[in-house]
Structure 1
Amino acid sequence: MRRETQNVLLVLLGGALLKLGVNGDYLRYVKPAQQPWVIAGGAVILLLGAVAIVRDVLAARRTRAGTTAHDHHHPARSAWLLVVPVLAVFLVAPPALGSDSVIRAPARPAVAQDAAAFPPLPAGDVVPLTLTEFVTRAGWDSRGSLTGRTVRLTGFVVHDKDGVLLARMVIRCCAADASPMTVRLTDPEAARYPDDTWLEVTGQVVPGTAVPANGYTADVTVRSLRTVPAPQDAYEY
């Protein structure tokens, strides 16, 4: 690969990272706190590519003027690998992890906590909760703060051998360490929605159904469900 091509690819790669950081697509790969690093990395790579292009243009002018000799180099072919992330971002950027990842990975066990660590749920007929908080309370809150309370959960549909799950992927740093949080929907109506359909569900936990044997996947008695657009940030943290 010629030096000129390498430099152009550096500019494209830096621009691709900046695009991810600015338009929010970086959330498919890393958590929100990483946005400054994505933007900074893209800016540095873009600057390096621009500086290299300017330097080579100036060197070529000096060579044509006969003031210096310009050696011919043969850069490593591995530089072509720079094309892969550029094409991935501009052409085939993958969506956030979905139902396939849930089926392949075991559910993350809820983090053990003392019952005193769970404050009472706020007042209201319907309480919005993340799946992470719901699963943790269902599995570990011996005071039963969820019992008899109607909650609102948002996630995507996953069909497995035992029924229909509502799921969200949870990440600590980036999509590479993602693991699923899941609840099981008892309403047969949920079965008509295909995998990866995003739903907003209201319902109540079935006490005693979140146990280690099922990865703390509690059953939810569904009161209502409706489709919703996939959020820009599909992960929980």
Structure 2
Amino acid sequence: MRRETQNILLVLLGGALLKIGLNGDYLRYVKPAQQPWVLAGGAVMVALGAVAIVRDIRAHHADDGHGHHHLARSAWLLMLPVLAVFLVAPPALGSDSVTRTEARAPAQSQAVFPPLPQGEVVPLSLTDLVTRAGWDSGGSLNGRTVRLTGFVTHSHGSVLLARMIITCCAADAYPLTVRLAGPTGAAYPDDTWLEVTGQVVPGTATRADRYTPDLVVASVRRIAQPRDPYED
């Protein structure tokens, strides 16, 4: 690869990092706290690439110039497909990742969890719900109606509400799932985002079923994908 091509690649990669860092697409790859590092990395790459390009242009003008400008134009043309790859962001991890990755919950031991807040319907993350369903010996979920947000995935005849969990970036993502009891969720295709209310069936989140509790659904509402599709 010629030096001109390497410099252009550096600028494109840095520009792509700045783009996804500013428009929110970086949330498909890393946690929100990583945004400053994404922006800083992109800015450094763009600056380094731009300095190198300016230096090369000056060097070309200083010599006899035979053929050099044609090489630079060729390098730019070669970068067009690379530009398309860098600037078209793939979708967030969804139902396909759930079926290919073993569902699991954060490691815990049996304990009495704090009671849920007062209210007819309590909003919970899937992390909190699955952890309580699997390890709360005090039964804080019993008889309580909760509100969950996630996407639909169908697996082995069951309809699951899922959310991908990341500790650092999308490379270490794994799913948490809740089984939707009843026919309500079956009407929605994979990767449909839903807001679901219902009650957890006690004792259904076990190691044998990979800590996937059953939820008796009370209501379902279709929603847009959240700006940050992952939990942490």
Q: Which residue type is aligned with residue 47 of structure 1?
A: A
Match of 2:31 in 1: 31
3-state DSSP of counterpart to 1:17? helix
8 Å CA contact retained: 2:132, 2:141:
yes
Q: Does 1:104 align with 2:100?
A: yes
Taking the aligned partners of 1:163 and 1:97, their CA distance within structure 2 comes to 20
Q: Which residue type is aligned with residue 42 of structure 1?
A: G
With structure 2 as the length reference, what TM-score do the two structures score?
Answer: 0.90
Measured at CA, do residues 224 and 231 of structure 1 come closer, stay the same or move farther in structure 2, by a change above 3 Å? same
Taking the aligned partners of 1:202 and 1:225, their CA distance within structure 2 comes to 7
Match of 1:77 in 2: none
Match of 1:231 in 2: 226
Gaps of 5+ in 1: 74-79
Taking the aligned partners of 2:80 and 2:212, their CA distance within structure 1 comes to 42
Q: Does 1:122 align with 2:112?
A: no
Number of residues paired by the alignment? 223
Q: Does 1:89 align with 2:86?
A: yes
8 Å CA contact retained: 1:9, 1:83:
no
Gaps of 5+ in 2: 72-77
| Deviations, residues 130-188 of structure 1 (Å, cap 9, x unaligned) | 00000000000010000000000000000011310000000111111110000000020
Taking the aligned partners of 2:155 and 2:183, their CA distance within structure 1 comes to 14
With structure 1 as the length reference, what TM-score do the two structures score?
Answer: 0.88
Match of 1:13 in 2: 13
Q: Which residue type is aligned with residue 103 of structure 2?
A: A
3-state DSSP of counterpart to 1:13? helix
**Deviation of the 1:54 alpha carbon:** 1.1
**Deviation of the 1:110 alpha carbon:** 3.9
Large movers: runs of 4+ above 3 Å: 80-84
3-state DSSP of counterpart to 1:109? coil
Measured at CA, do residues 110 and 10 of structure 1 come closer, stay the same or move farther in structure 2, by a change above 3 Å? closer
**Deviation of the 1:83 alpha carbon:** 6.3
Q: Which residue type is aligned with residue 133 of structure 1?
A: D
Taking the aligned partners of 2:28 and 2:215, their CA distance within structure 1 comes to 28
Give the one of 181, 187, 191 matched to 1:186: 181
Taking the aligned partners of 1:81 and 1:119, their CA distance within structure 2 comes to 56
8 Å CA contact retained: 2:5, 2:79:
no
Taking the aligned partners of 2:79 and 2:198, their CA distance within structure 1 comes to 49
Q: Which residue type is aligned with residue 131 of structure 2?
A: T
Superposed, which structure 2 residues align to 1:134-173 within 5 Å? Answer: 134-173=129-168
8 Å CA contact retained: 2:162, 2:177:
yes
Q: Which residue type is aligned with residue 32 of structure 2?
A: P
Match of 2:194 in 1: 199
8 Å CA contact retained: 2:105, 2:127:
no
**Deviation of the 1:64 alpha carbon:** 4.2
Taking the aligned partners of 2:6 and 2:193, their CA distance within structure 1 comes to 41
8 Å CA contact retained: 1:110, 1:139:
no
Measured at CA, do residues 209 and 114 of structure 1 come closer, stay the same or move farther in structure 2, by a change above 3 Å? closer
Task: Supply the RMSD in Å over aligned alpha carbons.
Answer: 2.2
Match of 1:63 in 2: 63
Match of 2:74 in 1: none
